[in-house]
Homo-oligomer: A and B are copies of this chain.
């Protein structure tokens, strides 16, 4: 059970306080690297460094791959490049590239000098890919065979390369030009007779991605076809690596978080571990856009001085009309942003969604327009015009808010911009300005 695996943090911390990092390190040997990484992430910098120092290179390589970025940077800060090299040597190529990517170019070069030529070459070529592409996600440890090989010869090959094929599920079948012609799930090696020729039992219906494919697209392919791993090919259709589903699980969570934070205008990656000043700095500019919008609304209200002078009661209705517009607009935006992200909303049907959201806005606008009109009449029975004005303003602003909330992410998407980029603050601010114009516009028209 997951709960049985918890590390006894308290007793470990007292060991560290007593300066006995060696003993603390030994009790960790039995634990899962993911649990160790979590525990290390909770320690202060000094304890973190001294405890990590006593882990042997293999365990250290597994732990560091699971550490959060902040703790990883603390550990790497003043570690000798020889020791980093020993750790990296135990890592899969993708994790190695991620680690070296976090170092300065000079430090990375020094570490590469400590690696065997083969590994160093692999890691260097991985470092050349963008982080958020198939190339940036893939590892280069693959098992590839020719289609005329027998089951027995493939098994022999796997046994000979035991270490590098430790977590392989699919064997790639390639032709003389290294081009992918088939995929063989490893379990078929168990099920089929030893003399069987690979081409007779391989899957020829291959799904692959190009090294430059965006990680969101790669995730969609995994999801659609229920894959465990996916071959990555270069411009010449040669297999250069594979992406595995455990990395895709992380990508999906990362992309969803990014959309959450972007929509709220709170940065694009995990803001939680950041310092207060850094967090404030990330959130400041998005709020500025919204503040400028508020100043526009301020000037507009100023322009309606005459109307306002004759009808101060209108003021009471500003929050409810702006608030309802903001909420229905945010609903529409959320539905579009999430639909585009998951692929549930297809590019061909974007206009249909705009019209659908407008019609929903019309229905909800009628309900709440009538409701607010009735409420206004109950509160100010002497003023039937007021009831008409606020009811109509509520309806109009809800319809327009639904339209703007749907259109804004679609326009961003069409312009090649991530539709989640702070659509939240932008939508609510535009809706505020529209709401003010509508409310005072109707009031001026009907009451003056």
Contacts and interface: CB of A to CB of B under 8 A. Distances in A.
A363 B169 CA distance: 52
A82 to B, nearest CB: 28
B335 A319 contact: no
A173 interface: no
29 contacts: A32-B207, A186-B187, A223-B249, A223-B250, A223-B253, A226-B246, A228-B245, A249-B252, A253-B342, A257-B338, A260-B260, A263-B334, A270-B344, A272-B344, A277-B363, A279-B360, A280-B363, A287-B328, A290-B327, A291-B371, A291-B372, A294-B320, A295-B375, A297-B319, A298-B317, A298-B319, A305-B312, A319-B436, A323-B432
A168 B370 CA distance: 59
A230 to B, nearest CB: 10
Nearest to A286: B327
Please indicate which of the listed interface residues A252, A271, A298, A308 has the most CB atoms of chain B within 10 Å of its own CB: A298
Given A228-B228, A301-B316, A319-B294, A327 B190 contact: no
Given A187-B168, A320-B297, A364 B245 contact: no
Please indicate which of the listed interface residues A277, A293, A298, A319 has the most CB atoms of chain B within 10 Å of its own CB: A319
Nearest to A371: B291
Contacts of A317: 298
A245 B249 contact: yes
Interface stretch (A44-52, A125-133, A409-417, A422-430): A422-430
Given A223-B250, A226-B249, 7 more contacts: A186-B187, A249-B249, A261-B335, A286-B331, A295-B375, A297-B316, A299-B316
A300 to B, nearest CB: 8
A93 to B, nearest CB: 16
Contacts of A305: 312
8 tightest CB-CB pairs across the interface, nearest first?
Answer: A294-B320, A226-B246, A256-B256, A264-B334, A297-B319, A301-B316, A298-B316, A266-B331
Nearest to A358: B276
A335 B263 CA distance: 11
Given A245-B245, A363-B276, A291 B320 contact: yes
A83 interface: no
Contacts of A353: 272
A302 B313 CA distance: 7
A319 B322 contact: yes
A155 interface: yes
Number of copies: 2
A43 B290 CA distance: 43
Contacts of A248: 249
Interface string A178-196: 0000000011011100000
A442 interface: no
Please indicate which of the listed interface residues A261, A334, A359 has the most CB atoms of chain B within 10 Å of its own CB: A334
A19 interface: no
Given A190-B158, A301-B316, A364 B284 contact: yes
Interface in A404-448: 424-425, 428-429, 432-433, 436
A107 to B, nearest CB: 27
Contacts of A347: none
Contacts of A291: 320, 323-324, 368, 371-372
Contact of A320 (B225, B286, B298, B334): B298
A367 B284 contact: yes
Contacts of A339: 272
Nearest to A348: B42
Contacts of A335: 261, 264, 266, 271-272
Contacts of A433: 319
A318 interface: yes
A159 interface: yes
A99 interface: no
Interface in A178-237: 186-187, 189-191, 205, 207-210, 217, 221-228
Contacts of A363: 276-277, 280
Nearest to A356: B276
A63 B395 CA distance: 44
Contacts of A246: 226-228, 245
